[in-house]
């Protein structure tokens, strides 16, 4: 399976996907990295790993739909089968999400359906919860609401700051995202009637 990754920044999840896909036998190849931000830190790493990179600056497009059409065209031109959002900070239109339905994944740094949106670790600390974690899910039009493919949990420490909690969750993100992509690429999970269905065995 040919995978495209969309980023806006640091790209550490992108790096974990690239590293996993480089291992012989992994069922997917990272064929393209697209950023909507020209100076995203992740772009340099992708280029060094010999992965084609494209910058599609959202500001150059008058509407969300026009930007999303440009994304869609770039992905199709590269023959992409699966799209992984990895710190991609743009909301995608329903049109795009529907076109890529069942083939579009996101990683979110909380145990969804809790703590959607931004400032996630602040939300968790304010809630008083003693565990947090991360979620890989199918993307649906509603933000951070898609069917869940995989989750990992971490403890919340009594002296955590948003930064220390984020760092603990990120370690799990880097393990979880490649595992979830593997499931999808091997067709051991699929989307059926709005639910994630898993192969037995
Ligand atoms: C990660 O915490 C991810 O869960 C969230 O944004 C952050 C991106 O980090 N969606 P990176 O760019 O992958 O390093």
What is the predicted ipTM? Answer: 0.97
Distance CA 185, CA 50 (A): 22
Atom index in ligand 1 nearest the CA of residue 169 equals 2
Ligand 1, atom 8, lies closest to the CA of 87
Counting Cβ atoms within 10 Å, is residue 61 exposed (0-12), middle (13-18) or buried (19+)? middle
pTM: 0.97
Choose the CATH number for 2-105+133-151+169-198 among 3.40.50.170, 3.30.70.100, 3.30.70.270, 1.10.760.10. Answer: 3.40.50.170
Q: How far is the CA of 70 from the centre of ligand 1 (A)?
A: 23
DSSP 155: E
The pLDDT tens digits along the chain (201 residues) read 999 999 999 999 999 999 999 999 999 999 999 999 999 999 999 999 999 999 999 999 999 999 999 999 999 999 999 999 999 999 999 999 999 999 999 999 999 999 999 999 999 999 999 999 999 999 999 999 999 999 999 999 999 999 999 999 999 999 999 999 999 999 999 999 999 999 997
According to the annotation, is 193 in a ligand binding site?
Answer: no
Residue nearest to atom 1 of ligand 1 (CA): 87
Q: Compute the distance from residue 11 Cα to the ligand 1 centre, in Å.
A: 7
201 annotated among ligand-binding-site residues:
no
Domains of the chain by residue range: 2-105+133-151+169-198
Tell me how long the chain is.
201
Is residue 7 a known part of a binding site? Answer: no
């Amino acid at each position: 399976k040919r995978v495209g990754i969309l980023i806006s920044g640091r790209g550490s999840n992108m790096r974990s996907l690239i590293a996993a896909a480089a291992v012989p036998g992994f069922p997917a190849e990272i064929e393209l990295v697209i950023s909507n931000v020209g100076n995203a830190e992740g772009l340099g790493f992708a280029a060094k790993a010999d992965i084609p990179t494209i910058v599609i600056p959202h500001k150059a497009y008058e509407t969300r739909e026009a930007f999303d059409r440009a994304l869609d065209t770039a992905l199709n031109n590269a023959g992409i089968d699966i799209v992984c959002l990895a710190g991609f900070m743009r909301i995608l239109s329903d049109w795009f999400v529907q076109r890529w339905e069942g083939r579009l994944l996101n990683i979110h740094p909380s145990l969804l359906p809790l703590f959607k949106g931004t400032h996630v670790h602040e939300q968790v600390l304010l809630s008083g919860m003693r565990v947090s974690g991360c979620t890989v899910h199918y993307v649906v039009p509603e933000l951070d609401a898609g069917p869940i493919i995989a989750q990992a949990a971490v403890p919340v420490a009594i002296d955590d700051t948003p930064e220390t909690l984020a760092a603990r969750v990120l370690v799990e993100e880097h393990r979880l995202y490649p595992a979830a992509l593997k499931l999808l690429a091997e067709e051991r999970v699929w989307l059926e009637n709005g639910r994630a269905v898993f192969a037995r065995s």
